[in-house]
């Protein structure tokens, strides 16, 4: 990853990973988002393998999102699979990641607006390339609302993640 390049506020650095079922969509998104001005980092896989294990790809993308954010770089992530479920679960195992499965425009934008999700999961077998691209673009473009209730709720999730304590 080229750490000398920093993303602009309008265009976050985007870390992307997939399994074999999302490779076509991933290749499209890397090209499409790069052409739009995003700094896209592809965490793989590099070649098709129907028996691949997606967790390392998705975890590495999620780790990179958190590392960038901790370094002050505006970064978001995309994890793709057949359904997006396993990829979301893998990404959510990384401390500091809030990965959301998006299946329509509303879930994509609300993930950012209300939950400040920093990774989006999309099922490549659930949408056309055009539909999935629209979901990803909606997610990337939507800002977090910074509404006090959402900040408070995210804080409670982060506290549990760090301490194991459930805050009422």
Write down the pTM of the prediction: 0.93
Is the distance from CB of 11 to CB of 35 less than 8 angstroms?
A: no
Instruction: Note whether 134 and 105 are within 8 A (CB).
Output: yes
pLDDT tens digits along 105-145 = 999 999 999 999 999 999 999 999 999 999 999 999 999 99
CA-derived radius of gyration, the chain: 15
Task: Please give the positions annotated as active site.
Answer: 87, 114
């Amino acid at each position: 990853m080229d750490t000398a390049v920093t993303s602009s506020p309008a265009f976050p650095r985007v870390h992307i990973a997939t399994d074999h079922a999302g490779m076509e969509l991933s290749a499209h998104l890397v090209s499409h988002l790069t052409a739009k001005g995003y700094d896209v980092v592809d965490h793989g896989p590099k070649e098709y393998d129907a028996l691949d294990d997606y967790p390392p790809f998705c975890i590495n993308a999620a780790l990179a999102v958190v590392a960038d954010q901790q370094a002050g770089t505006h970064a978001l992530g995309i994890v793709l699979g057949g359904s997006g479920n396993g990829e979301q679960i893998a990404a959510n195992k990384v401390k500091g990641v809030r990965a959301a499965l998006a299946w329509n425009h509303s879930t994509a934008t609300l993930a950012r607006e209300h939950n400040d999700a920093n990774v989006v999961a999309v099922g490549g077998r659930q949408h056309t390339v055009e539909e999935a691209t629209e979901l990803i673009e909606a997610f990337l473009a939507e800002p977090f609302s910074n509404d006090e209730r959402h900040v408070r709720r995210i804080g409670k999730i982060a506290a549990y993640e760090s301490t194991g304590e459930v805050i009422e």
